[in-house]
């Protein structure tokens, strides 16, 4: 006599469970990003820290190892023109968070290499949508790999002001430091080289407490003007200086800290 109500109860609970599963909202980490095409290396630095407002570094192609960084914002790049104007290396945005891939990445990454430049990929970090290791894996799986061919730059982590909300992604300095280290460790494990860290002194100090946890990684510093300024987090020198957000090349303008031989050594890890 009791089997019928028990069966009915189980069926009712199963129906509720199925309904709940169907009605469950998409997790924030899996939702499409609002404007990833506008998030590129330095986009938020320029917005929060400005672009200098004064004279920029006076560089000459025959004196410096110059390069650029691009994202979907630049679309198809004329790499032959970049080479004619003295470009030697290029970073291209590959990914953002755990859902976005740059639709122009193939042309930018492969095209720069075919034109004779050293090429590299970078990831725009969103530390509030997943842990660091998860984002590192997404990056490596979608363009962030590395090969010791003498012309591939170490994969880079672009970590700067949050374009979608709270400056530090609602993480404490300790949490942010742990996130960055987890990302770095996973990239190192997956590729064999530590990632280059792109960040500004002001953001790094505010959001990590000026941590030295990745001070052995190469530093890519954005500062628009005539000098690199104070370096963050225990770094004593930079590998790359992003000195302007526009100029001779498409996208941002960069200067490698060394000559062509040192650039090749940098690509070799």
How wide is the angle at C-alpha 54 spanned by C-alphas 53 and 56, nearest 5°? 110
What does the alpha-carbon distance between residue 218 and residue 126 come to, in Å, rounded to a whole number?
A: 20
Residue 140 is encoded by which pair of tokens? 């490596």
Q: Which of 49, 64, 69, 252 is catalytic?
A: 69
Assess whether 69 carries a catalytic annotation: yes
Residue 85 is encoded by which pair of tokens? 């104007």
Residue 60 is encoded by which pair of tokens? 């000459």
Residue 267 neighbours by CB under 8 Å, 6+ apart: 118, 149, 150, 151, 152, 153, 154
Q: Which of 49, 64, 158, 252 is catalytic?
A: 158
Contact 135, 248 (CB under 8 A): no
Give helix 132-141 / helix 173-191 axis angle, nearest 10°. 30
Assess whether 2 carries a catalytic annotation: no
Contact 214, 194 (CB under 8 A): yes
Q: Which of 49, 160, 245, 252 is catalytic?
A: 160
Query: 122: closest CA among 149, 151, 150, 142?
Result: 142
Assess whether 166 carries a catalytic annotation: no
Place of tokens 């190469």: 218
Beta-bridge mates of residue 68: 90, 253
Contact 243, 56 (CB under 8 A): yes
Beta strands in 168-235 (DSSP E): 196-198, 219-222
The residues that are catalytic are 69, 158, 160
């Amino acid at each position: 006599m009791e089997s019928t109500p028990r069966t009915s109860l189980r069926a009712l609970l199963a129906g509720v469970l199925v309904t709940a599963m169907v009605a469950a909202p998409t997790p924030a980490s899996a939702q499409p990003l609002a404007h990833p095409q506008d998030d590129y290396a330095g986009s938020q630095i320029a917005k929060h820290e400005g672009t200098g407002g004064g004279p920029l570094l006076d560089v000459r192609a025959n004196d410096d190892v110059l390069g650029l960084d691009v994202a979907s914002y630049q679309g198809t790049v004329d790499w032959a023109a970049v080479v004619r104007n003295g470009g030697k290396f290029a970073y291209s945005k590959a990914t953002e968070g755990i859902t976005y891939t740059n639709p122009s990445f193939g042309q930018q990454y492969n095209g720069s290499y075919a034109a004779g430049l050293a090429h590299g990929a970078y990831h725009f970090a969103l530390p509030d949508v997943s842990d660091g290791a998860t984002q590192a894996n997404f990056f490596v799986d979608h363009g962030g790999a590395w090969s010791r061919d003498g012309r591939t730059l170490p994969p880079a982590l672009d970590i700067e002001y949050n374009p979608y909300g709270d400056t530090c992604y609602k993480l404490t300095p300790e949490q942010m430091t742990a996130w960055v280290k987890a990302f770095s460790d996973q990239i190192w494990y997956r590729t064999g080289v530590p990632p280059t860290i792109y960040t500004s002194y002001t953001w790094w100090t505010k959001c990590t407490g000026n941590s030295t946890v990745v001070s052995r990684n190469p530093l890519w510093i954005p500062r628009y003007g005539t000098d690199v300024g104070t370096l963050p987090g225990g770094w004593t020198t930079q590998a790359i200086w992003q000195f302007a957000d526009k100029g001779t090349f498409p996208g941002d303008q960069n200067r490698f800290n060394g000559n062509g031989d040192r650039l090749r050594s940098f690509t070799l890890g």
